[in-house]
Protein backbone atom coordinates (compact mmCIF):
# COMPACT_ATOMS: atom_id res chain seq x y z
CA UNK A 1 0.00 0.00 0.00
CA UNK A 2 1.46 3.36 -1.03
CA UNK A 3 1.40 6.43 1.20
CA UNK A 4 -1.96 8.27 1.06
CA UNK A 5 -1.77 11.54 -0.82
CA UNK A 6 -3.93 14.57 -1.43
CA UNK A 7 -3.80 17.22 -4.13
CA UNK A 8 -2.91 20.75 -3.11
CA UNK A 9 -3.99 23.86 -5.00
CA UNK A 10 -1.16 26.38 -5.11
CA UNK A 11 -2.05 29.66 -6.79
CA UNK A 12 0.89 30.83 -8.89
CA UNK A 13 1.05 34.56 -8.21
CA UNK A 14 4.00 35.13 -10.53
CA UNK A 15 2.58 33.71 -13.76
CA UNK A 16 -0.91 33.09 -15.09
CA UNK A 17 -2.67 32.64 -11.78
CA UNK A 18 -3.63 29.08 -12.67
CA UNK A 19 -3.57 26.54 -9.82
CA UNK A 20 -0.52 24.32 -9.50
CA UNK A 21 -1.26 20.73 -8.50
CA UNK A 22 1.04 19.19 -5.91
CA UNK A 23 0.80 16.09 -3.72
CA UNK A 24 0.96 16.06 0.07
CA UNK A 25 2.83 12.95 1.23
CA UNK A 26 2.49 12.07 4.97
CA UNK A 27 5.64 11.15 6.92
CA UNK A 28 5.04 9.11 10.08
CA UNK A 29 8.63 8.04 10.77
CA UNK A 30 12.00 9.82 10.67
CA UNK A 31 12.67 9.50 6.95
CA UNK A 32 10.83 10.17 3.70
CA UNK A 33 8.69 7.36 2.22
CA UNK A 34 9.77 5.64 -0.98
CA UNK A 35 6.94 7.18 -3.02
CA UNK A 36 8.01 10.77 -2.37
CA UNK A 37 8.63 12.43 -5.75
CA UNK A 38 10.13 15.70 -6.92
CA UNK A 39 7.74 18.58 -6.27
CA UNK A 40 5.79 16.83 -3.50
CA UNK A 41 5.02 18.48 -0.17
CA UNK A 42 6.01 16.32 2.81
CA UNK A 43 3.62 16.40 5.80
CA UNK A 44 5.29 15.49 9.11
CA UNK A 45 2.74 13.62 11.24
CA UNK A 46 4.90 12.78 14.26
CA UNK A 47 3.79 14.05 17.65
CA UNK A 48 7.33 15.11 18.51
CA UNK A 49 10.75 15.13 16.90
CA UNK A 50 14.23 16.19 17.95
CA UNK A 51 15.99 19.13 16.30
CA UNK A 52 18.78 16.98 14.87
CA UNK A 53 16.31 14.45 13.46
CA UNK A 54 14.25 17.24 11.93
CA UNK A 55 17.39 18.75 10.39
CA UNK A 56 18.41 15.42 8.86
CA UNK A 57 14.88 14.96 7.50
CA UNK A 58 14.94 18.45 5.95
CA UNK A 59 18.26 17.64 4.24
CA UNK A 60 16.89 14.35 2.90
CA UNK A 61 13.73 15.99 1.56
CA UNK A 62 15.72 18.76 -0.11
CA UNK A 63 18.03 16.21 -1.73
CA UNK A 64 15.03 14.31 -3.11
CA UNK A 65 13.47 17.45 -4.58
CA UNK A 66 10.52 17.98 -2.24
CA UNK A 67 8.82 21.36 -2.67
CA UNK A 68 8.45 21.91 1.06
CA UNK A 69 7.85 20.46 4.52
CA UNK A 70 4.53 20.86 6.35
CA UNK A 71 4.78 20.81 10.17
CA UNK A 72 2.54 21.80 13.05
CA UNK A 73 3.22 24.84 15.21
CA UNK A 74 3.08 22.57 18.28
CA UNK A 75 5.86 20.37 16.90
CA UNK A 76 8.13 23.40 16.45
CA UNK A 77 7.26 24.80 19.87
CA UNK A 78 10.59 23.74 21.38
CA UNK A 79 12.66 25.10 18.48
CA UNK A 80 14.39 28.44 18.80
CA UNK A 81 14.12 31.10 16.10
CA UNK A 82 17.64 30.15 14.98
CA UNK A 83 16.66 26.48 14.66
CA UNK A 84 13.59 27.40 12.60
CA UNK A 85 15.64 29.64 10.35
CA UNK A 86 18.23 26.90 9.89
CA UNK A 87 15.58 24.33 8.87
CA UNK A 88 13.77 26.83 6.65
CA UNK A 89 17.08 27.51 4.95
CA UNK A 90 17.32 23.84 4.01
CA UNK A 91 13.74 23.41 2.74
CA UNK A 92 10.68 25.74 2.64
CA UNK A 93 8.46 25.29 5.70
CA UNK A 94 4.67 25.38 5.85
CA UNK A 95 3.74 25.80 9.52
CA UNK A 96 0.18 24.86 10.48
CA UNK A 97 -1.17 26.55 13.59
CA UNK A 98 -4.50 27.52 15.13
CA UNK A 99 -4.77 30.47 12.80
CA UNK A 100 -4.38 28.41 9.63
CA UNK A 101 -1.46 27.96 7.28
CA UNK A 102 1.46 30.26 6.68
CA UNK A 103 2.69 31.07 3.20
CA UNK A 104 4.85 28.64 1.26
CA UNK A 105 7.23 29.88 -1.45
CA UNK A 106 5.33 33.17 -1.55
CA UNK A 107 2.13 31.41 -2.72
CA UNK A 108 -1.33 31.26 -1.16
CA UNK A 109 -2.19 27.75 -0.03
CA UNK A 110 -5.61 26.11 -0.12
CA UNK A 111 -5.56 22.54 1.18
CA UNK A 112 -8.18 20.13 -0.12
CA UNK A 113 -9.40 18.09 2.88
CA UNK A 114 -8.44 14.42 2.72
CA UNK A 115 -10.56 12.28 5.09
CA UNK A 116 -7.68 10.01 6.09
CA UNK A 117 -5.36 12.93 6.88
CA UNK A 118 -8.18 14.63 8.79
CA UNK A 119 -8.81 11.45 10.76
CA UNK A 120 -5.15 11.12 11.76
CA UNK A 121 -5.08 14.78 12.77
CA UNK A 122 -8.18 14.29 14.92
CA UNK A 123 -6.76 11.20 16.60
CA UNK A 124 -3.54 13.07 17.37
CA UNK A 125 -5.44 16.06 18.76
CA UNK A 126 -4.37 18.50 16.03
CA UNK A 127 -7.93 18.96 14.69
CA UNK A 128 -11.33 18.85 16.38
CA UNK A 129 -13.53 18.34 13.32
CA UNK A 130 -13.45 17.63 9.61
CA UNK A 131 -14.61 15.12 6.98
CA UNK A 132 -14.09 11.50 8.02
CA UNK A 133 -13.80 8.42 5.78
CA UNK A 134 -17.36 7.77 4.53
CA UNK A 135 -17.75 4.29 6.06
CA UNK A 136 -16.56 5.46 9.50
CA UNK A 137 -19.60 6.34 11.62
CA UNK A 138 -18.54 8.68 14.39
CA UNK A 139 -22.09 8.84 15.76
CA UNK A 140 -21.95 5.23 17.01
CA UNK A 141 -19.58 3.89 19.68
CA UNK A 142 -16.23 2.91 18.18
CA UNK A 143 -13.14 1.24 19.64
CA UNK A 144 -9.54 1.79 18.69
CA UNK A 145 -7.18 -1.16 18.36
CA UNK A 146 -3.49 -0.21 18.29
CA UNK A 147 -0.86 -2.66 17.00
CA UNK A 148 2.71 -2.08 18.15
CA UNK A 149 5.01 -4.50 16.30
CA UNK A 150 8.72 -5.29 16.32
CA UNK A 151 10.41 -7.49 13.67
CA UNK A 152 12.29 -10.49 15.03
CA UNK A 153 15.45 -9.58 13.13
CA UNK A 154 15.45 -5.99 14.34
CA UNK A 155 14.99 -4.71 10.79
CA UNK A 156 12.55 -2.16 9.45
CA UNK A 157 8.88 -2.85 10.08
CA UNK A 158 6.79 -3.07 6.86
CA UNK A 159 4.19 -0.59 8.11
CA UNK A 160 2.38 -0.19 4.80
CA UNK A 161 1.93 -3.95 4.48
CA UNK A 162 0.89 -4.27 8.12
CA UNK A 163 -1.74 -1.55 7.67
CA UNK A 164 -3.03 -3.30 4.55
CA UNK A 165 -3.40 -6.62 6.40
CA UNK A 166 -5.07 -4.99 9.42
CA UNK A 167 -7.48 -3.05 7.20
CA UNK A 168 -8.50 -6.18 5.27
CA UNK A 169 -8.98 -8.31 8.38
CA UNK A 170 -10.92 -5.59 10.20
CA UNK A 171 -13.24 -5.07 7.23
CA UNK A 172 -14.05 -8.80 7.18
CA UNK A 173 -15.32 -8.51 10.75
CA UNK A 174 -16.79 -5.00 10.63
CA UNK A 175 -17.62 -3.23 7.34
CA UNK A 176 -17.58 0.10 9.20
CA UNK A 177 -13.97 -0.29 10.31
CA UNK A 178 -11.04 1.82 9.16
CA UNK A 179 -7.28 1.39 9.54
CA UNK A 180 -4.50 3.95 9.44
CA UNK A 181 -0.90 4.39 10.65
CA UNK A 182 0.25 7.03 13.12
CA UNK A 183 3.84 7.30 14.35
CA UNK A 184 4.71 3.70 13.43
CA UNK A 185 1.61 2.29 15.15
CA UNK A 186 -1.16 0.75 13.03
CA UNK A 187 -4.60 1.64 14.38
CA UNK A 188 -7.93 0.07 13.50
CA UNK A 189 -11.24 1.72 14.43
CA UNK A 190 -14.11 -0.75 14.73
CA UNK A 191 -17.56 -1.09 16.22
CA UNK A 192 -18.11 -2.14 19.83
CA UNK A 193 -17.95 -5.94 19.65
CA UNK A 194 -16.62 -8.76 21.83
CA UNK A 195 -12.97 -8.32 22.81
CA UNK A 196 -12.17 -11.56 24.60
CA UNK A 197 -8.67 -12.90 23.99
CA UNK A 198 -9.94 -16.00 22.20
CA UNK A 199 -12.26 -14.68 19.52
CA UNK A 200 -12.23 -10.89 19.67
CA UNK A 201 -11.33 -8.65 16.75
CA UNK A 202 -8.15 -7.51 18.48
CA UNK A 203 -6.84 -11.06 18.88
CA UNK A 204 -7.77 -11.82 15.27
CA UNK A 205 -5.84 -8.80 14.00
CA UNK A 206 -2.79 -9.83 16.02
CA UNK A 207 -2.91 -13.43 14.78
CA UNK A 208 -3.42 -12.45 11.14
CA UNK A 209 -0.58 -9.93 11.25
CA UNK A 210 1.83 -12.38 12.87
CA UNK A 211 1.12 -15.19 10.44
CA UNK A 212 1.11 -13.01 7.31
CA UNK A 213 4.28 -11.05 8.07
CA UNK A 214 6.06 -13.55 10.35
CA UNK A 215 6.43 -10.91 13.05
CA UNK A 216 7.03 -12.54 16.41
CA UNK A 217 6.29 -9.64 18.74
CA UNK A 218 3.04 -7.71 18.34
CA UNK A 219 1.40 -5.98 21.29
CA UNK A 220 -2.21 -4.95 20.79
CA UNK A 221 -3.88 -2.28 22.90
CA UNK A 222 -7.66 -1.86 22.93
CA UNK A 223 -9.46 1.32 23.96
CA UNK A 224 -12.94 1.58 25.40
CA UNK A 225 -15.91 2.35 23.08
CA UNK A 226 -16.96 5.99 22.64
CA UNK A 227 -19.18 7.89 20.23
CA UNK A 228 -18.44 11.13 18.42
CA UNK A 229 -15.25 12.68 17.11
CA UNK A 230 -14.04 13.38 20.64
CA UNK A 231 -14.65 9.73 21.43
CA UNK A 232 -12.43 8.65 18.53
CA UNK A 233 -9.60 10.67 19.99
CA UNK A 234 -10.14 9.24 23.47
CA UNK A 235 -10.31 5.58 22.46
CA UNK A 236 -7.21 6.05 20.28
CA UNK A 237 -5.22 7.42 23.22
CA UNK A 238 -6.39 4.57 25.44
CA UNK A 239 -5.48 1.91 22.87
CA UNK A 240 -1.99 3.32 22.23
CA UNK A 241 -1.38 3.71 25.95
CA UNK A 242 -2.50 0.13 26.65
CA UNK A 243 -0.02 -1.19 24.07
CA UNK A 244 2.87 0.98 25.28
CA UNK A 245 2.20 0.25 28.95
CA UNK A 246 2.04 -3.50 28.32
CA UNK A 247 5.44 -3.34 26.59
CA UNK A 248 6.97 -1.30 29.41
CA UNK A 249 5.61 -3.51 32.18
CA UNK A 250 5.85 -7.03 30.81
CA UNK A 251 7.43 -6.90 27.34
CA UNK A 252 4.04 -7.02 25.63
CA UNK A 253 3.35 -9.54 22.88
CA UNK A 254 -0.31 -9.97 23.84
CA UNK A 255 -3.70 -8.26 23.68
CA UNK A 256 -4.26 -5.72 26.46
CA UNK A 257 -7.45 -3.74 27.02
CA UNK A 258 -7.33 -0.34 28.67
CA UNK A 259 -9.46 -1.65 31.53
CA UNK A 260 -6.87 -4.32 32.28
CA UNK A 261 -4.30 -1.64 33.09
CA UNK A 262 -6.05 -0.79 36.32
CA UNK A 263 -4.33 2.14 38.00
CA UNK A 264 -1.76 2.25 35.20
CA UNK A 265 -4.51 3.48 32.92
CA UNK A 266 -4.88 6.58 35.08
CA UNK A 267 -1.20 7.42 34.59
CA UNK A 268 -1.47 8.09 30.84
CA UNK A 269 -1.90 11.90 31.17
CA UNK A 270 1.20 12.11 33.38
CA UNK A 271 3.40 10.21 30.93
CA UNK A 272 1.93 12.05 27.92
CA UNK A 273 3.16 15.27 29.56
CA UNK A 274 6.57 14.43 31.09
CA UNK A 275 6.62 17.71 33.01
CA UNK A 276 3.86 16.35 35.26
CA UNK A 277 5.43 12.92 35.82
CA UNK A 278 6.95 13.55 39.26
CA UNK A 279 9.13 10.63 40.38
CA UNK A 280 11.44 12.69 42.58
CA UNK A 281 11.16 10.51 45.69
CA UNK A 282 11.72 7.26 43.79
CA UNK A 283 14.76 8.78 42.08
CA UNK A 284 16.14 9.80 45.49
CA UNK A 285 15.77 6.23 46.72
CA UNK A 286 17.44 4.87 43.58
CA UNK A 287 20.39 7.22 44.03
CA UNK A 288 20.65 6.37 47.72
CA UNK A 289 20.61 2.63 47.04
CA UNK A 290 23.28 2.94 44.34
CA UNK A 291 25.52 5.12 46.47
CA UNK A 292 25.18 3.19 49.73
CA UNK A 293 24.64 -0.34 48.34
CA UNK A 294 21.32 -0.59 50.17
CA UNK A 295 17.92 -1.98 49.16
CA UNK A 296 15.44 0.65 50.33
CA UNK A 297 13.38 0.72 47.14
CA UNK A 298 13.03 -3.10 46.80
CA UNK A 299 12.06 -3.22 50.46
CA UNK A 300 9.47 -0.50 49.93
CA UNK A 301 7.94 -2.38 47.00
CA UNK A 302 7.89 -5.64 48.96
CA UNK A 303 6.21 -3.85 51.88
CA UNK A 304 3.53 -2.41 49.59
CA UNK A 305 2.88 -5.78 47.95
CA UNK A 306 2.79 -7.70 51.24
CA UNK A 307 0.85 -5.13 53.23
CA UNK A 308 2.75 -5.91 56.43
CA UNK A 309 6.40 -5.76 57.47
CA UNK A 310 6.38 -9.41 58.60
CA UNK A 311 5.24 -10.68 55.22
CA UNK A 312 7.67 -8.33 53.46
CA UNK A 313 10.50 -9.72 55.58
CA UNK A 314 9.65 -13.27 54.52
CA UNK A 315 9.63 -12.35 50.81
CA UNK A 316 13.00 -10.58 51.19
CA UNK A 317 14.51 -13.31 53.45
CA UNK A 318 15.43 -10.77 56.13
CA UNK A 319 14.36 -10.13 59.74
CA UNK A 320 11.27 -7.99 60.22
CA UNK A 321 13.35 -5.53 62.24
CA UNK A 322 15.46 -5.04 59.12
CA UNK A 323 12.34 -4.08 57.18
CA UNK A 324 11.33 -1.62 59.90
CA UNK A 325 14.80 -0.07 59.88
CA UNK A 326 14.76 0.31 56.10
CA UNK A 327 11.31 1.94 56.14
CA UNK A 328 12.61 4.47 58.67
CA UNK A 329 15.49 5.10 56.28
CA UNK A 330 12.96 5.71 53.48
CA UNK A 331 11.42 8.42 55.64
CA UNK A 332 14.85 10.01 56.24
CA UNK A 333 15.63 10.06 52.51
CA UNK A 334 12.23 11.19 51.19
CA UNK A 335 10.51 12.77 54.18
CA UNK A 336 7.54 10.45 53.60
CA UNK A 337 6.21 8.06 56.26
CA UNK A 338 4.79 4.91 54.63
CA UNK A 339 2.37 4.52 57.55
CA UNK A 340 0.60 7.71 56.37
CA UNK A 341 -2.03 6.76 53.74
CA UNK A 342 -1.39 9.84 51.58
CA UNK A 343 2.37 9.35 51.64
CA UNK A 344 1.96 5.68 50.80
CA UNK A 345 -0.32 6.48 47.84
CA UNK A 346 2.16 9.07 46.56
CA UNK A 347 5.04 6.61 46.69
CA UNK A 348 3.01 3.82 45.05
CA UNK A 349 2.02 6.08 42.16
CA UNK A 350 5.62 7.29 41.76
CA UNK A 351 6.86 3.69 41.60
CA UNK A 352 4.39 2.91 38.82
CA UNK A 353 5.34 6.05 36.92
CA UNK A 354 9.02 5.19 37.29
CA UNK A 355 8.40 1.70 35.90
CA UNK A 356 6.48 3.07 32.91
CA UNK A 357 9.27 5.59 32.23
CA UNK A 358 11.89 2.83 32.37
CA UNK A 359 13.58 4.01 35.58
CA UNK A 360 12.75 0.64 37.12
CA UNK A 361 13.01 -2.76 35.41
CA UNK A 362 9.88 -4.08 33.72
CA UNK A 363 7.66 -6.23 35.87
CA UNK A 364 4.72 -8.48 35.02
CA UNK A 365 2.23 -6.84 37.35
CA UNK A 366 -0.63 -5.97 35.00
CA UNK A 367 -3.76 -7.43 36.63
CA UNK A 368 -5.19 -10.36 34.65
CA UNK A 369 -8.96 -10.51 34.50
CA UNK A 370 -11.21 -13.34 33.59
CA UNK A 371 -13.53 -13.08 30.61
CA UNK A 372 -16.45 -12.82 32.98
CA UNK A 373 -14.83 -9.77 34.55
CA UNK A 374 -14.39 -7.95 31.22
CA UNK A 375 -17.21 -5.59 30.48
For the chain, give every domain's residue range: 6-112, 134-274, 278-356
Rounded distance, CA 285 to CA 295, Å? 9
Asked if residue 106 has pLDDT above 50, the reply is: no
> Could you please report the per-residue DSSP string of 52-105?
HHHHHHHHHHHHTT-SEEEEETTTTTT--HHHHHHHHHHS-EEEEETTEE--BT
How confident is the model over 254-277, as pLDDT tens digits?
Answer: 899 988 888 777 777 766 655 555
Phi, psi (5° rounding) for residue 185? -125, 125
Least confident of 89-103, 147-161, 190-204, 360-374: 360-374
Tell me the CA distances in angstroms from 308 to 82, 311, 318, 325, 337, one per residue in order: 57, 6, 14, 14, 14
**Domain 134-274, CATH number (from 3.30.70.270, 3.20.20.10, 3.40.710.10, 3.40.50.10800):** 3.30.70.270
How confident is the model over 146-161, as pLDDT tens digits?
Answer: 999 887 666 777 888 8
Beta 217-222 vs 185-191: how paired, if at all? unpaired
Q: Which of 269, 265, 243 is nearest to 256 (CA)?
A: 243
Q: Please, are residues 150 and 157 in contact by the beta-carbon 8 Å criterion?
A: yes
Q: pLDDT band for 179, please (50, 70, 90 cuts).
A: very high
Q: What angle do CA 194, 199, 200 make, to 5 degrees?
A: 40
> Is this prediction's pTM over 0.75?
no
H-run or E-run covering 282: helix 280-292
Long-range pairs of 284-290 with CB within 8 A, sequence gap ≥ 24: 284/333, 284/334, 285/330, 285/333, 285/334, 286/359, 288/333
In this structure, the number of other CB atoms found within 10 A of the CB of residue 245 comes to: 26
Considering only the top CATH level, what class is 278-356? mainly alpha
74: left (phi over 0), alpha (psi -120 to 50) or beta: alpha
Amino acid sequence: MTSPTVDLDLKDATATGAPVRRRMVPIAGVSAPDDLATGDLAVLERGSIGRRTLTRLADELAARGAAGLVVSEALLKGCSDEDRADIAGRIPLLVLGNGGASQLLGEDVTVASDPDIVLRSILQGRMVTGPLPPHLESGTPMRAIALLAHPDDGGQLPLAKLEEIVAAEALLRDPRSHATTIEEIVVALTGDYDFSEDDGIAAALAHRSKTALLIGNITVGVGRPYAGIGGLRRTYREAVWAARAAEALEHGNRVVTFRELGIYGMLEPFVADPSTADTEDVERLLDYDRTNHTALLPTLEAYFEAGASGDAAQSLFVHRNTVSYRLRAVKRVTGLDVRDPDARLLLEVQIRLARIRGLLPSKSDLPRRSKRGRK
